[in-house]
Amino acid sequence: MRAKLLRIGLALASIGVFAGGDWLQFRGTDNRSVSDESGLPTSFGPEENVAWKVPLVGRGPSSPIVVGGKVVVTCSSGFRQDRLHVLVFDAASGRRLWHRQLWATGHTWTDPFGAVADNTPASDGRRIFVMYSSNDVACFDLEGNLLWFRGLAYEHPATRNDVGMASSPLVVGDTVVVQLENQGDSFACGLDAATGATRWQLDREHGATWTSPTVLRGNGRGEDLVLLQSRSQLTAHQPRTGRLLWRYEISCHTIASLTTWGDRLYLPASGLHAFRYDWATHRAELLWYQRRMRSGNASPVACGDRAYVLKPPGILVAADTADGRVLWQLRLKGPFWATPVVAGGHLYAVNYDGLVQVVRLGRRGQLAGTGRIDERILASPAVADGALYFRSDQHLWKVAFTGEP
């Protein structure tokens, strides 16, 4: 009973520090790419509905996060991309609040499309956790004080792949989960959010994968779980111990990461697989498989009774989550790297060239408007407090109604 009360207390403490409008990690606080925000612009450009635009000090496909009225973004710079940056801006004004620089301790070579700042930061509402392709992990408080640092590639020198590591950290309760699957020293581990100490470490299959750990929220059904993809299986683990609870044999070493909605899991693997997870038995039932929903770089998005996939080079496919039946398709202008977000009944899909196509969701998908960033974008947008945040190669943008014609 005492242990159960402790777990409940930790869960309530974690919930208590999340501001309602925060977007705390890759694809949002719950890794779903879905926001309950409404009233967002469906048309914008350099002179329309851009609240502010600020320059960045380096490159990176990492997405911004929003925590407590602050926007956090990471960058890398230098000839060897070994300068690692953390920048924090005031969400209201765009004023830079602080900037910290670290030096990479691990391998910094990446594919030309990427950068060492590939990995999206995460937050528990009190602290900011940053990770880079060099496998360096650091923790700051919201005022920019360094709390701890781990050079995981320094500790595991064989941890690297040929084009860069892109898996983003995941915060679940008081544990930071990182996944480093590669041709060398391949593992996943859980770090104590307060100290950075290793709580658990699991050997993983050899071979590169670029997916990120995903949380499956218990929401009263059971404890939150961590989901990990690999070359031959999908696995579910306890966040604090790493204990394996369930596995499903399937090749899912993709770029796109799975997503969840309620007790459903939507896994990209040569199409889209839908599972229902049962906390009582720690088993997942395969509900359906839809081969016409083959993801590229962008992760799938599920919202209510619909699931959405961006197929290369730019076809948005919507399916009924009850049976996987394809309901409609809409051709968009690609190519796409970033995962789209859903908010206010619209899906925002940003392509590589910075064109944002806004799709009205319903019985049919209809193009409702467009936005223009006009710079290369690989990062997925963040949504918080009535605004969209886009990160390009050179700038961070806040898009919101400005009241100007």
Percentage helix, strand, coil, to 5, in the chain?
5, 45, 50
In a domain, 291, yes or no: yes
| pLDDT score recorded for residue 118 | 94
| pLDDT score recorded for residue 187 | 92
In a domain, 404, yes or no: no
| Residue pair 64/73 in contact by the 8 Å Cβ criterion | yes
> Measuring CA to CA, which residue among 399, 391, 398, 397 is closest to residue 75?
391
CATH label of the domain that carries residue 235: 2.130.10.10
| pLDDT score recorded for residue 404 | 59
Listed in sequence order, the residues at least 6 apart from 115 whose beta carbon sits closer than 8 Å to its beta carbon are: 58, 59, 60, 61, 75, 76, 81, 133, 164
Q: Using one digit for the tens of pLDDT, what is the confidence trace for 12-31?
A: 333 334 455 899 999 999 99
In a domain, 172, yes or no: yes
* CA 89 to chain centroid: 19
341-343 and 34-35 as β-strands: parallel, antiparallel, unpaired?
parallel
Q: Using one digit for the tens of pLDDT, what is the confidence trace for 315-328?
A: 999 999 999 999 99
In a domain, 69, yes or no: yes
In a domain, 145, yes or no: yes
**Could you tell me the pTM of the whole model?**
0.93
- What mean pLDDT is reported for the chain? 92
| pLDDT score recorded for residue 67 | 98
> What is the sign of the dihedral through the CA atoms of 106, 109, 111 and 113?
positive
| pLDDT score recorded for residue 137 | 98
Query: For the chain, how many structural domains are there in total?
Result: 1
| pLDDT score recorded for residue 17 | 42
Q: The domain containing residue 129 runs over which residues? A: 2-399
| Residue pair 148/127 in contact by the 8 Å Cβ criterion | no
In a domain, 405, yes or no: no
In a domain, 48, yes or no: yes
**pLDDT tens, the chain, 405 aa long:** 434 433 444 343 333 344 558 999 999 999 999 999 999 999 999 889 999 999 999 999 999 999 999 999 999 999 999 999 999 999 999 999 999 999 999 988 888 878 999 999 999 999 999 999 999 999 999 999 999 999 998 888 877 777 778 899 999 999 999 999 877 788 999 999 999 999 999 998 877 778 999 999 999 899 999 999 998 899 999 999 999 999 999 988 889 999 999 999 999 999 999 999 999 999 999 999 999 999 999 999 999 999 999 999 999 999 999 999 999 999 999 999 999 999 999 999 999 999 999 999 999 999 999 999 989 999 999 999 999 999 999 999 999 998 755
Single-letter amino acid code for the residue at 194: A
